[in-house]
């Protein structure tokens, strides 16, 4: 039988659990980082939009052609959305993603001097950019405190007991800000992605027997 711990109920206990989870995941995935390839901030902005309902691995392949053809914000802003769609449709939802990428690049060109703004609210003003994307940019590009609530983060934080049956990304983010030291947030979320893919999987029964959190995880939903 798997070892089961009771989920912590009060904020102090959840903070203690969070710190222990952070420490163990650091040791398990010391080099975890963003799995989307990029050289410039605007490229990550494009890739994270393409990654919706698509694997990062596929996005990394598709953007090679896109960035070769349109090597900068101005070039992509001037591109016909139909030409963008022809390249990115392999990521799924090609029409809406191409539309958002085109509109986003035009706004960067016209309102931000073709540069990605280092401001959370300004990022949210860009077409196709939500809180998850804005947090990713703040954390990975600008080195600012960030909590990226992707599907792995939401699923694992519920399973571990850091949040209690909370599925809405904004609510999970708000709860985690109370638990996770600001300087740890971005890397912690990246490590949850690695752990969710390799051990605490969604499509198969999680591999609790080889999980570094086995003895402290209440295994909610398992």
pLDDT digits (tens, 9 = 90+) for 173-220: 999 999 999 999 999 999 999 999 999 999 999 999 999 999 999 999
What would the pLDDT profile of 101-134 be if each residue is shown by its tens digit? 999 999 999 999 999 999 999 999 999 999 999 9
The domain segmentation of the chain, as residue ranges, is 11-31+147-210, 41-141
Short-list 87, 96, 218, CA closest to 165: 218
pTM of the predicted model over 0.85: yes
Catalytic residues: 132, 150
Its CATH class, for the domain covering 11-31+147-210, is: mainly alpha
Q: pLDDT value at position 3?
A: 53
Torsion of CA 191, 134, 47, 40, to 10 degrees: -100
Query: How much is the mean pLDDT over the chain?
Result: 96
Residues 6+ apart with CB under 8 A from 198: none
Name the CATH architecture for the domain at 41-141.
Answer: Orthogonal Bundle (1.10)
């Amino acid at each position: 039988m798997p070892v089961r711990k009771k989920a912590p109920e009060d904020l102090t206990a959840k903070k203690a659990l969070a710190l222990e989870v952070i420490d163990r995941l650091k040791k398990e995935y010391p080099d975890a980082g963003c799995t989307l390839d990029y050289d410039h901030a605007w490229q990550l902005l494009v890739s994270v939009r393409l990654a919706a309902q698509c694997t990062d691995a596929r996005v990394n392949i598709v953007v090679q052609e896109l960035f070769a053809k349109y090597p900068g914000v101005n070039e992509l802003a001037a591109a016909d959305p139909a030409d963008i769609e022809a390249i990115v449709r392999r990521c799924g939802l090609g029409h809406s993603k191409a539309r958002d990428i085109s509109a986003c690049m035009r706004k960067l060109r016209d309102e931000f001097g073709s540069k990605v703004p280092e401001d959370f609210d300004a990022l949210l003003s860009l077409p196709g950019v939500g809180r998850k994307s804005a947090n990713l940019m703040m954390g990975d590009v600008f080195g600012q405190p960030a909590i990226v609530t992707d599907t792995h983060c939401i699923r694992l934080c519920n399973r571990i007991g850091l949040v209690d049956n909370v599925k809405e990304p904004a609510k999970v983010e708000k709860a985690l800000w109370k638990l996770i030291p600001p300087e740890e947030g971005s890397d912690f979320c990246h490590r949850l992605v690695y752990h969710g893919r390799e051990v605490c999987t969604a499509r198969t029964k999680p591999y609790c027997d080889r999980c570094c959190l086995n003895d402290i995880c209440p295994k909610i939903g398992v």
